[in-house]
Amino acid sequence: MKAREIVRVENVVKDFRPGFGLRRKRVLDGITLAVREGEIFGFVGPNGAGKTTTLKVLLGLIRASSGSARILGHDVRETAFRRHIGFLPENPYFHEFLTGREFLRFYARLAGLARRGREPRIGELLGWVGLAEAGDARLRTYSKGMLQRLGIAQALVHDPKVVFLDEPMSGLDPLGRKDIRDLILRLRDEGKTVFMNTHILPDVEMLCDRVAIIVRGRVRWEGRIEDFLADGAEPESDVVLARLSPELAGRLDERFGGALRGLGERVELRVPHKEVEGVVGAALGSGAELVSVTPHRASLEAIFLSAVDQGQKEGR
């Protein structure tokens, strides 16, 4: 059964006027996308492509010039439905005069959390994001990673159904990035829908179920990562062999069109999946040693760059 749509954006256009009398600049040029329940959706694009503007339209911070955007069936210009959404902005800056606990209490009140449930929820969340001991310290003493984790706690304080994250890993060290990745995966485990803006492709490959690529204000591709990577290409594998005889190496290279690469004493050969068994059998029969067989995935980066290239050509 197809999961229900949580976010639906249709043909959203946004024009900005840089100043009085200046020509309008089109930042979003007919964005259309859909996010389904329970998935981690990656909204990917180069800097300035329109990712954050789209997110701000969804959160009601910017009004679309035309088109429609709905979350959980509600027009994003409404207010009340926002009790079901959480948001972490890019490089969040919070009221640094507050302590972590006061900060979450403030957002809990804004989100309409009943007084009785507030304190237990705040304690639970501080523990969840690993800030239980820093809860009574002022935010000006927090590191960037701690602020990011507190920002996620703020986004979750009212137990929303959908969470929007804008570049959640931006500017974090490897440890901080891992913490945030783990938190995002936990959100999915808890049944939340996550909409994540990012330009860090390895994070997308690691976390996202579905992806949309935006270039120059337009969605160029939208779908499941697996489909994305397999799009049109025959699946291949990388076979690594050691002690391969020069004669067999020559024959394999000829047969697979120069696909053989030397790796010191080893060689690597990229062959179609259906040929793997034959190649490995021949190699072992000739006295070679099998080191590894790895299914090859087209890199998301290559496809991303091709989408950017296509977008730029169309923009000219």
Partner 1 sequence: MTSATRVLAVAGNTVREAIRNRVLYTLVAFAVVLIGASVVLSNLSYVEQGRILQDIAFASARLFGVAIAIAVGINLIYREVDRRTIYTILAKPISRCEFLLGKYLGLVATVWLQVLVMGAAFAAVSLVDGRPFGWPHAGALGLLGMELAVVVAVATLFSSFTTPTLAALFTTGVWIAGNLTRDLRRLAEQTQVEEIVGVARVLHQVLPDLAMFNLGLKASHGLPIAPGAEVVLPVAYALAYVAALLLLASLIFQRRDFR
Smallest gap from Cβ 28 to partner 1, in A, equals: 12
Q: Which is nearer to partner 1, 89 or 311 (CB)?
A: 89
Cα gap 162→245, rounded to integer Å: 58
Q: How many CB atoms lie within 10 A of CB 159?
A: 15
Smallest gap from Cβ 40 to partner 1, in A, equals: 19
Stretch that binds partner 1, among 89-97, 125-133, 223-231, 289-297 (CB under 8 A): 89-97
Question: Binding to partner 1 by residue 233, rule CB under 8 A?
Answer: no
What x-and-dash track marks residues 92-131 binding partner 1 by CB under 8 A? xxxx-xx---x---xx-xxxxxx-----------------
Q: Which is nearer to partner 1, 110 or 230 (CB)?
A: 110
Burial letters 243-277, b for 16+ CB under 10 A, else e: ebeeebbeebeeebeeebeeeeebbbbebeeebbe
Question: Binding to partner 1 by residue 263, rule CB under 8 A?
Answer: no
Which DSSP string do the residues of 163-217 spell out, in sequence order?
Answer: EEEESTTTT--HHHHHHHHHHHHHHHHTT-EEEEEE--HHHHHHH-SEEEEEETT
- Backbone φ and ψ for 92, nearest 5 degrees, come out as -65, 140
Q: Which is nearer to partner 1, 55 or 283 (CB)?
A: 55
Question: Binding to partner 1 by residue 134, rule CB under 8 A?
Answer: no
Neighbouring-strand partners of residue 240? 268, 292
Residue among 111, 38, 25 at smallest CA distance from 65:
25
Smallest gap from Cβ 103 to partner 1, in A, equals: 9
Q: Which is nearer to partner 1, 91 or 245 (CB)?
A: 91
Smallest gap from Cβ 267 to partner 1, in A, equals: 54
Question: Binding to partner 1 by residue 256, rule CB under 8 A?
Answer: no
Contact 211, 304 (CB under 8 A): no
Question: Binding to partner 1 by residue 159, rule CB under 8 A?
Answer: no
Smallest gap from Cβ 102 to partner 1, in A, equals: 8
Q: Is 72 exposed, middle or buried (0-12, 13-18, 19+ CB in 10 A)?
A: middle
Neighbouring-strand partners of residue 97? none
**Eight-state DSSP code of residue 100:** H
List of residues contacting partner 1 (CB under 8 A): 16, 53, 56, 59-63, 79-83, 85-89, 92-95, 97-98, 102, 106-107, 109-114, 151, 154-155, 158, 164
